[in-house]
Amino acid sequence: MGMTITEKILAKHAGKDVVRPGDLIQANIDIVMCHDVTTPPAVSMLEKRGMDRVFDIDKVVVIPDHFVPNKDIASAELAKRLREWVKRHGIKNYYEVGRNGVCHALLPEEGWVRPGETIVCGDSHTCTHGALGAFSTGVGSTDLAAAIYSGELWFKVPESIKFELNGALSKGVYSKDIILDIIRRIGVDGALYKAMEFVGPVVDALSIESRFTITNMAIEAGGKSGIMNPDAKTAAYVRERSDKEFTMVSSDSDAEYEAVIDIDCSALEPMVAFPHLPSNGKTVTEAQGLKMDQVYIGSCTNGRIEDLRVAAEILKGKKIASDIRCLVVPASPDCWKKAEEEGLLRTFVDAECAVSLPTCGACLGGYMGVLAAGEKCLSTTNRNFVGRMGSPESEVYLASPATAAASALTGVITDPREFM
């Protein structure tokens, strides 16, 4: 019996030839990523126990992004604790404000994600990096502390669910719509504890950036990880950014899956997930006309350059509705530079959108776009729980950058195909 890509990566990192779902293993971690919210508590735990060490400073990458530039004094203190720890241990891979970005956008862009490797971060959207054929999963602060200290973590080998993305996407339909449709079908715990493996001609045809949008939201179906078998596009993307050797592994044809789910992507329409669960997906036709107060284009889900290009194409030469606010948050400095070079930033500003620096900020109700009671926001982010972007009485609707841009123009939820 063969193994899935997830089983192969975990077996190799546990020093075993074979692992099977349910096996409890101790696995080596190749990259430990750290941000400003969950890392300072992890560091404090280590300090308190006389365990303040870093297993390998070359394998720790520190990217403050949630509340930086500091939103208030308390967040400034958190960022300071992070910075002091970095200095104390001589961690070189630290992205200070100005070089930083939304961590899940920046990590692969900077070449830290390689096929076949293992990555953890104290953040649930760490599943993003599986798009490059790595095993990547979100953990809490104690796990993060353990990984920083020892370079290892315990895992239960997950069962895998295979999602076969067949057909082809029609105009106005994007990878965000695919993942919103999958979560609508299986529910927010439909892949609880499982590895979600995405395969098929639609995956093959997607760009790397569009692939990240899908794996990013694996956690929204309860998944332990999202993963894709690496191909020539993966290799090219990684080689452009990393000098380190890597080995691409893929699932065997006789690997075992808990389930195989076929998705006919040709039939998909633009999707909108209604409050307060990412699984409350409706087609844009069903959602059409609902009045919004804010549109947010950004985040680790949809704040990359391709996302901004799609939004700018729709906004170009137009102005957003007079009674809506539209925030555009490029997710990294590289994305910001490209958006500047290509004239996208000018397009947004001319359309009367507010363009911000890279931060997670408003996505989790931190700052730079928090919602008041009763307000509705159409957002390209990944989560629309109660109070996610601010007041517990506000509402978040999730959609693609195209749907977000079209809706900014009209002030109500709008089918992006009307502007294509």
Partner 1 sequence: MKGKAHVFTRAHINTDEIIPARHLVIDDEAELAKFAMEDIDADFVNKMTPGDIIVAGEDFGCGSSREHAVWALRGAGVSCVIAETFARIYYRNSVNNGYPAIECSGAIGKIDDGDELDINIAAGSIKNLTKGTDIPFVPFPEFVVAIANAGGLLESIKE
What residues line the site for partner 1 (CB under 8 A)?
24, 37-38, 40-41, 44-46, 49-51, 66-67, 72, 74-75, 77-78, 122-124, 126, 138-143, 145-146, 149-150, 154, 188-189, 192-193, 219, 222, 224, 277, 364-366, 383, 385-388, 392
Distance in angstroms (rounded) separating the CA atoms of residues 323 and 224: 40
Whichever of 77 and 340 has its CB closer to partner 1, that residue is 77
Tell me which H or E stretch contains 401: helix 401-410
CB of 279 to partner 1, least distance (A): 9
Report DSSP letters for 43-94, one per residue. HHHHHHTT----S-GGGEEE---SSTTTSSHHHHHHHHHHHHHHHHHT---B
Tell the smallest beta-carbon distance from residue 186 to partner 1 (Å): 12
Give whichever of 333 and 387 is closer to partner 1, judged by the CB atom: 387
Q: What are phi and psi of 108, to 5 degrees?
A: -70, -35
Residue 404 and residue 384: Cα distance in Å, rounded?
15
Residue 4 CB, nearest approach to partner 1 (Å):
18
Q: Which is nearer to partner 1, 77 or 262 (CB)?
A: 77
- Least distance from C-beta 370 to partner 1, angstroms? 8
User: CA–CA separation, 149 vs 217, rounded Å?
Assistant: 29
* Interatomic CA distance for residues 30 and 58, integer angstroms: 10
Beta pairing partners, 364: none
Using the minimum distance from each CB to partner 1, give the nearer residue, 150 or 166. Answer: 150
Report the alpha-carbon distance of residue 223 to residue 160 in Å, rounded: 9
Q: Which helix (H) or strand (E) holds 34?
A: strand 31-34
Nearer to partner 1, 85 or 149 (CB): 149
* Residue number, 141 or 250, with CB nearest to partner 1: 141
Query: Shortest distance, CB of residue 224 to partner 1, whole angstroms?
Result: 6
Minimum CB separation from partner 1 for residue 368, in Å? 13
Question: Are 273 and 279 within 8 A, CB to CB?
Answer: yes
User: Smallest gap, in angstroms, from Cβ of residue 77 to partner 1?
Assistant: 8
Q: Is 56 exposed, middle or buried (0-12, 13-18, 19+ CB in 10 A)?
A: exposed
Q: Which is nearer to partner 1, 115 or 122 (CB)?
A: 122
